[in-house]
């Protein structure tokens, strides 16, 4: 069934023609991504389809009665109202009842207020919808319903916006850069949610793994035309290369044909008959096709890096936290007693959940903020280049060329060459005409590209990149990856782009919470495989505890002695006691976790306890993981000594 039809859409923004003659359709269950360079109007196209902007020409048709959910590329919540008010901002009896009920629960308004809220919920049949809201909030790791939305991190705000889109179960999802500011685990969870067969999806994203795992069609906007590729991103890359090869060969043939026709035109007598005029018209058609420009301007990055000495950045006993340790609900340790030495040539990725303090950690290493304890020492030869999440702070009424000239008029390149500010901008795909446009006319991706230009023109030898891939188009990402791969610099990267991290980083600093940071030698894909393997082992181990315990007891009975399964001297008395306790505790926790999941899944009747259940589930899961891992270690030791057998 066709859900959406777009016919001959066109849109101009000031002097720029963003797109024209755009036509395509969307079937139910189809998952389509639009791929194009920054500034070609991808976000504007989505807004036109979502009804937020009007196209200059063309027609957009949805099937009657379809509900549309739209997620904007940029989410900025500055209001002071609570998270639950943001989630339930519609003015209808059901959402009003849920909102009043949640406030009564969270603010402990008393028996009378609670009674009135429960009556309203029952009267409006709002319990099922309330349970869905709770499940979505739990799924997106949003716990504190009374937290003001303006105090949420960028990633948390993005999650709230995504949950708001999904809450009313729209028939068609229109998502603009849905993975921006989300941590890697949340991106993987979103992939699973959107991959469901019944979800109809139209999106724009630069996340190449996401495109591979979710989408079944890629639409490319290039050279003023739309090309459809029925497959994921890998299929698109393969088929596009083949099409480019055929097109180049065809154009080469046309150029040869044009030369022979041109020779005829030059020799042709002035008295032109009907046949001659027909051949002349054909020559003009061939000429138009043969001279069509299919060249792709590529971001050309060629800056030199300053010489880097032996010392780069050293941290000794680095400690930083926020809040009061005596109040656990407000206390947040970022890093505790951490020692590390960043060496020349290191390419380090920093990973961890949103809000855990990765950006604060970068501020500590670059001495933008002071630690509570310990020291950071930066080498004398270090030239820092910092690409922050917030982007370049520039005045919207400033011209593009002025932004670059404010830093330098002439930029040194490798091998002793130099380049003017205007020439550098051209290498970053800002032509001479566009350089005199105002910053306000740029798209989000173009602003990020300009920001990247201003960072690299300072010739850094230590590059700090905090979410560098947000809003950049795929060709720019490829160029940046190639440049950084070949450049002899030290690199520190915070990014949720798995493709980018895998290609550039040889080791990771993994934030585990409570101030703990561990080093992992390898890329992100290898880390996630290890984490998933351990989680699977822990789950399998928990299920095997009962079997193991039964086997031990049977062995004791068969031998007629309680000492038959005694542990050898290599296991301490404390370890023996731990193993016995864990054999009882792990199955109990596993059972408790399953019960909590079941209660959350069906909502139950005790709706005011849903949030408490979710918090209890989180604590139980963490406790189960810790105890299962400890049990596995002790069981392996016992089996190695011949004390316990699974057979």
What is the per-residue pLDDT for 248? 64
The answer to whether residues 302 and 414 touch, using CB atoms and an 8 Å cutoff, is yes
Residue pair 528/515 in contact by the 8 Å Cβ criterion:
no
**What residue spans of 124-178 are helical by DSSP H?**
127-139, 154-167
Which two three-digit tokens encode residue 196?
A: 């469901």
Distance between CA atoms of 320 and 360, rounded to whole angstroms? Answer: 9
Cβ-proximal residues to 449 (8 Å cutoff; 6+ apart), any chain: 38, 299, 428, 429, 472, 476
Q: Are 639 and 570 in contact (CB under 8 A)?
A: no
Span 74-101, average pLDDT: 82
For CA atoms 604, 607, 608, 612, give the dihedral sign: positive
What DSSP state is assigned to residue 109? -
Label each residue of 469-491 as H, E or C.
CCCCCHHHHHHHHHHHHHCCCEE
Identify the CA nearest to 2 among candidates 63, 58, 51: 63
- Are 26 and 2 in contact, with CB atoms under 8 Å apart? yes
Say how far apart CA 398 and CA 457 lie, in whole Å. 19
Distance CA 3, CA 21 (A): 20
- The pLDDT confidence band at residue 645, using thresholds 50, 70 and 90, is very low
Residues 6+ apart with CB under 8 A from 506: 346, 347, 348, 521, 522, 523
Burial class (CB in 10 A: 0-12, 13-18, 19+), 408: middle
Residue 518 clears pLDDT 60, i.e. is over it: yes
| Euclidean distance between CA atoms 597 and 603, whole angstroms | 10
List Cβ neighbours of 19 (8 Å cut-off, separation of 6 or more).
9, 10, 11, 40, 41, 44, 45, 221, 224
| Pairing state between β 31-35 and 462-466 | unpaired
> What angle is formed at CA 322 by the lines to CA 317 and CA 328, rounded to 5 degrees?
110
Instruction: Give the DSSP letter of residue 626.
Output: H
Q: How confident is the model at residue 509 (pLDDT cuts 50, 70, 90)?
A: very high
Alpha helices in 273-375 (DSSP H): 274-290, 358-365
Per-residue b or e along 46-82, where b marks 16 or more CB atoms closer than 10 Å to that residue's CB: bbbbbeeeebeebeeebeeeeebbbbbbebebeeeeb
57-86: average pLDDT: 87
pLDDT of residue 281: 63
Is CATH 3.40.50.300 what the domain over 45-234 is classified as, yes or no?
yes
Least reliable range by pLDDT among 8-22, 154-168, 265-279, 434-448: 265-279
From start to end of 352-489, where are the E strands?
373-378, 384-387, 410-412, 418-420, 462-466
| DSSP structural state of residue 216 | S
> Is residue 420's pLDDT more than 60?
yes
Instruction: Give the global pTM.
Output: 0.65
d(CA 494, CA 526) in angstroms, rounded, equals 17
Fold type of domain 313-522: Rossmann fold (3.40.50)
Q: Which of 42-46, 285-289, 362-366 has the least mean pLDDT?
A: 285-289
155 near 178, Cβ under 8 Å? no
Residue 641 DSSP label: T
Task: Spell 374-394 as b/e; 16+ CB within 10 A means b.
Answer: bebebbeebebbbbbbeebeb
By the 8 A CB rule, do 422 and 436 touch?
no
Q: What span, in angstroms and rounded, lies between the C-alpha atoms of 349 and 491?
A: 8
118 pLDDT band (50/70/90 cuts)?
A: confident
Contact 342, 519 (CB under 8 A): no
| Structure confidence by residue, pLDDT tens digits, 5-47 | 999 999 988 777 888 888 999 999 999 999 988 778 888 999 9
Show Cβ contacts of residue 553 under 8 Å, excluding neighbours closer than 6 positions.
none
Q: Is the pLDDT of residue 551 over 60?
A: no
Average pLDDT, rounded, for the chain: 80
Signed CA dihedral, 111, 114, 120, 122: sign only: negative
Q: DSSP character for 381?
A: T
Q: Please provide residue 455's backbone torsions phi and psi, each rounded to the nearest 5 degrees.
A: -75, -45
Pick from 82-96, 188-202, 524-538, 588-602 the range whose average pLDDT is largest.
188-202
| Partners of residue 148 on adjacent β-strands | 82
Reduce the DSSP state of residue 507 to 3 states and report it.
strand
Distance of CA 147 to the CA centre of its chain: 24
- Is residue 606 classed exposed, middle or buried when 0-12, 13-18 and 19+ CB atoms within 10 A define those classes? exposed
């Amino acid at each position: 069934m066709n859900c959406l039809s777009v016919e001959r859409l066109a849109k101009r923004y000031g002097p720029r023609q963003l797109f024209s003659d755009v036509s395509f359709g969307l079937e139910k269950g189809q998952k389509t991504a639009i791929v194009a360079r920054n500034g070609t109007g991808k976000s504007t196209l989505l807004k036109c389809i979502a009804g937020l902007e009007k196209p200059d020409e063309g027609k957009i048709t949805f099937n009657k009665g379809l509900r549309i959910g739209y997620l904007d590329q940029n989410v900025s919540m500055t209001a002071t109202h609570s998270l639950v008010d943001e989630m339930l901002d519609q003015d209808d009896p059901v959402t009003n009842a849920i909102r009043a009920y949640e406030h009564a629960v969270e603010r402990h308004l008393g028996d009378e207020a609670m009674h009135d809220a429960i009556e309203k919920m029952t009267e409006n049949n709002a319990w099922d919808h309330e349970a869905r809201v709770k499940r979505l909030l739990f799924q997106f790791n949003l716990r504190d319903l009374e937290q003001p939305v303006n105090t949420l991190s960028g990633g948390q705000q993005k999650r709230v916006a995504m949950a708001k889109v999904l809450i009313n179960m729209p028939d068609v999802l229109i998502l603009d850069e849905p993975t921006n500011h989300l941590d890697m685990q949340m991106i993987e969870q979103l992939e699973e949610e959107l991959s469901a067969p019944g979800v109809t999806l139209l999106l724009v994203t630069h996340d190449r793994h996401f495109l591979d795992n979710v989408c079944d069609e890629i639409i490319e906007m290039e050279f003023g035309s739309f090309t459809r590729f029925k497959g994921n991103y890998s299929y698109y890359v393969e088929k596009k290369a083949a099409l480019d090869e055929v097109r180049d060969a065809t154009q080469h043939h046309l150029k040869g044909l044009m030369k022979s026709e041109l020779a005829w035109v030059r020799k042709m007598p002035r008295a032109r008959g009907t046949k001659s005029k027909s051949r002349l018209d054909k020559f003009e058609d061939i000429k138009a096709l043969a001279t069509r420009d299919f060249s792709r301007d590529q971001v050309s990055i060629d800056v030199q890096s300053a010489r880097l000495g032996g010392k780069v950045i050293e941290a000794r006993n680095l400690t930083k936290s926020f809040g009061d340790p005596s109040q656990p609900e407000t206390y947040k340790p970022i890093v505790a007693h951490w020692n590390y030495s960043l060496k020349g040539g290191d390419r380090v990725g920093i990973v961890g959940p949103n809000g855990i303090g990765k950006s604060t950690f970068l501020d500590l290493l670059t001495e933008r903020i002071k630690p509570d304890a310990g020291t950071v020492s930066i080498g004398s030869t270090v030239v820092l280049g910092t690409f922050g999440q917030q982007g370049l702070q520039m005045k919207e009424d400033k011209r593009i060329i002025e932004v670059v000239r404010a830093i330098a008029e002439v930029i040194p390149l490798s091998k002793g060459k130099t380049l003017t500010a205007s020439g550098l901008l051209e290498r970053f795909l800002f032509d001479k005409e566009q350089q005199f446009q105002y910053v306000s006319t740029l798209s989000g991706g173009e602003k990020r590209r300009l920001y990247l230009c201003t960072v690299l023109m300072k010739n850094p030898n230590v590059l700090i990149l905090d979410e560098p891939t947000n809003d950049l188009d795929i060709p720019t990402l490829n160029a940046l990856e190639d440049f950084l791969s070949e450049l002899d610099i030290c690199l520190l990267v915070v990014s949720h782009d798995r493709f980018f991290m895998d290609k550039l980083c040889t080791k990771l600093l993994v934030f585990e919470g409570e101030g703990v940071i561990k080093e992992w030698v390898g890329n992100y894909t290898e880390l996630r495989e290890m984490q998933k393997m351990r989680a699977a082992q822990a789950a399998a181990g928990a299920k095997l505890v009962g079997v193991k315990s039964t086997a031990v007891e049977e062995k004791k009975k068969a031998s007629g002695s309680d000492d038959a399964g005694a542990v050898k001297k290599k296991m301490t008395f404390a370890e023996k006691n731990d193993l016995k306790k864990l054999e009882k505790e792990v199955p109990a926790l596993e059972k408790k976790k399953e019960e909590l999941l079941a209660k959350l899944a069906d909502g139950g009747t005790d709706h005011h306890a849903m949030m408490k259940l979710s918090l209890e589930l989180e604590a139980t899961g963490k406790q189960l993981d810790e105890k299962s891992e400890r049990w596995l270690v002790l069981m392996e030791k016992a089996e190695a000594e011949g004390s316990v057998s699974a057979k």
